[in-house]
Amino acid sequence: MLVRAVFSKLLALAIPVALVSAIVGALGGREAAAACAVLLLTVAWLHQARNLLRLKRWLKAPSLDTLPQSMGLWEDVYAGLARLLRAQRQHATDLSRAVERFRLAGTAMPEGLVILDGDDRILWCNPAAERHFGLELARDARQQVTYLVRQPQFAQYLAAQSYGEPLILRTPRPQEMVLSVQLVPYGDNQKLVTSRDITHWERVETMRRDFVANVSHELRTPLTVLVGFLETLNGMASINHDIARRTLTLMSEQGTRMQHLVEDLLTLSQLESTQNPPREEAVDMARLARDLRDDAAALSGGRHRILLAVECGDWVTGNEAELRSAFGNLVSNAVRYTPEGGEIRMAWRRGADSEGPAFSVQDSGIGIESHHLPRLTERFYRVDRGRSRDTGGTGLGLAIVKHVLGRHQARLDVKSEPGRGSTFTAVFPQQRVAAVPAASEPLSA
Ligand code: ADP
């Protein structure tokens, strides 16, 4: 195609030269024809030479704006070059758009991405990787990654060249994090390092492990005692009635202890289930407080002075069963951790300033040292393990309180002084105050 086009253009040049030369030859003789042909060919050659020079100059900085204009064969050449240049520009634009799309996708990814060359130098990394490894692309590009990610396990993982399993890496900076790091070799000896922040999952996993260990431990003790008693009874040739009665009483205590533990565990699991939001109603807190005072009196069996002050008639929107269980735990703790002769003051009163009403239980009991206070609502956290167990505690009471209050957007304040007593206060937000039904009881303690 091209050859034919060039050939036809050359022909288009040769024919007029031959024709003009022939006419000049017919008029002026052979020399004149030869001179005319030489002249015409020289003009044609000068034209070609000029265009070649323009092309050479243009090729130094090819641009559509500066593309020379010409005629004949050169017009086709320049048109072809313009087409080529446009196609190349389009290709470059498509390519840079594709690169930009990948860069943006990489930047938006929550996982960290680092591209390393064959010598483990950083070629590129995304913002998540900058956060995970404390890198800064502008500063650290072309640096050896092991100079910057300095944990020895990372260097070993890189060197081992077996990347089947991810590496769990704890980073001390810029903030403490647990990362799952995976290396993927690709292309021409390059490597892609991906990192995922699994700090949260690691914490949940640790909590799960601790929880299972705690529950097993809590159940093992009473179970061991029960099994021991059963074996003793079983090994006796004849069962003495008195011994059997005493043993059965102790066994029943251990059974009750396990029962309480399982009940508290079920309560906690129900509270934690997100598919189980609390059924809400208007709760008469004054009546609930009076019920709790009666429960406290029954639990105390006359060993404590128990007082209730109902200074506010507010009802709250909430789940009565959950609130009863939470406040019941506060009251039972007050009774259990207050020696005989002590005093327990319960109150339902309006809060200060913009705060809603509060239910408080104050005791004159053993109190708690301040460093224990932040951890009291953790599951199975006990200040005095022996005392908690001896009084039938499961170590889950305050964890239940915390969950219930959380579901009601209320908070728990704890004030305590060793040897002087403690005050646990549940403070409701103002928006939890419910309208009091028309036919409700008047205020009275
Ligand atoms: P427990 O079943 O052991 O009482 P809780 O979760 O109810 O578990 O309480 C956690 C710990 O907080 C208790 O073991 C106890 O050491 C301490 N505690 C709770 N309430 C009181 C209180 N009123 N006075 C003193 N210590 C308390």
* DSSP conformation letters of 250-267: HHHHHHHHHHHHHHHHHH
Q: How many Cβ atoms sit within 10 Å of the Cβ of residue 431?
A: 10
pLDDT at position 218 over 60: yes
Q: Could you identify the residue written with the tokens 């641009």?
A: 63
Question: CA-CA distances (angstroms) from residue 275 to 250, 269, 271, 279?
Answer: 39, 11, 10, 12
Q: How does DSSP classify residue 190?
A: E
78 lines ligand 1 (CB under 6 A): no
Pair 315, 433: CB distance under 8 Å: yes
Pair 169, 152: CB distance under 8 Å: no
376 lines ligand 1 (CB under 6 A): yes
The rounded Å distance from CA 332 to ligand 1 centre is 9
347 lines ligand 1 (CB under 6 A): no
Cite the DSSP H helix spans in 337-384: none
pLDDT digits (tens, 9 = 90+) for 48-100: 898 899 889 998 998 888 888 887 778 888 889 899 999 999 999 999 999 99
The number of angstroms, rounded, from the C-alpha of 251 to the middle of its chain's C-alpha atoms is 47
pLDDT at position 14 over 90: no
421 lines ligand 1 (CB under 6 A): no
SS3 376: coil
194's CB contacts (< 8 A; 6+ apart) are 111, 112, 113, 181, 182, 183, 184
pLDDT at position 276 over 90: no
130 lines ligand 1 (CB under 6 A): no
Residue nearest to atom 8 of ligand 1 (CA): 395
Does the pTM surpass 0.85? The reply is no
- CA gap 327, 337 in Å, rounded: 15
pLDDT digits (tens, 9 = 90+) for 143-200: 999 999 989 999 999 988 888 889 999 988 667 899 999 999 998 889 999 999 999 9
Q: Could you identify the residue written with the tokens 């204009």?
A: 69
The rounded Å distance from CA 400 to ligand 1 centre is 12
365 lines ligand 1 (CB under 6 A): yes
Which residue, 70, 47, 72, 46, is CA-closest to 58? 70
pLDDT at position 293 over 90: yes
What pLDDT band is residue 232 in, cutting at 50, 70 and 90?
confident
pLDDT at position 445 over 60: no
| Residue 241 tokens, joined | 């009635």
368 lines ligand 1 (CB under 6 A): yes
Atom index in ligand 1 nearest the CA of residue 398 equals 6
Pair 116, 190: CB distance under 8 Å: yes
Q: How many CA atoms lie within 13 A of 5 on its CB side?
A: 9
Q: Could you identify the residue written with the tokens 């509060």?
A: 358
Residue 399 backbone phi and psi in degrees, to 5: -65, -40
pLDDT digits (tens, 9 = 90+) for 385-438: 888 888 888 999 999 999 999 999 999 999 999 999 999 999 999 999 998 887
Amino acid at site 148: L
| Residue 252 tokens, joined | 């029943």
Cite the DSSP H helix spans in 306-431: 320-336, 385-390, 397-407
- CA gap 393, 279 in Å, rounded: 28
Mean pLDDT of the chain: 90
pLDDT at position 3 over 70: no
Pair 154, 116: CB distance under 8 Å: no
The rounded Å distance from CA 16 to ligand 1 centre is 115
Residue 179 backbone phi and psi in degrees, to 5: -115, 145
Which residue, 361, 378, 379, 377, is CA-closest to 415? 361
pLDDT at position 441 over 60: no
329 lines ligand 1 (CB under 6 A): yes
- CA gap 164, 183 in Å, rounded: 8
Which residue, 65, 87, 86, 69, is CA-closest to 78? 69
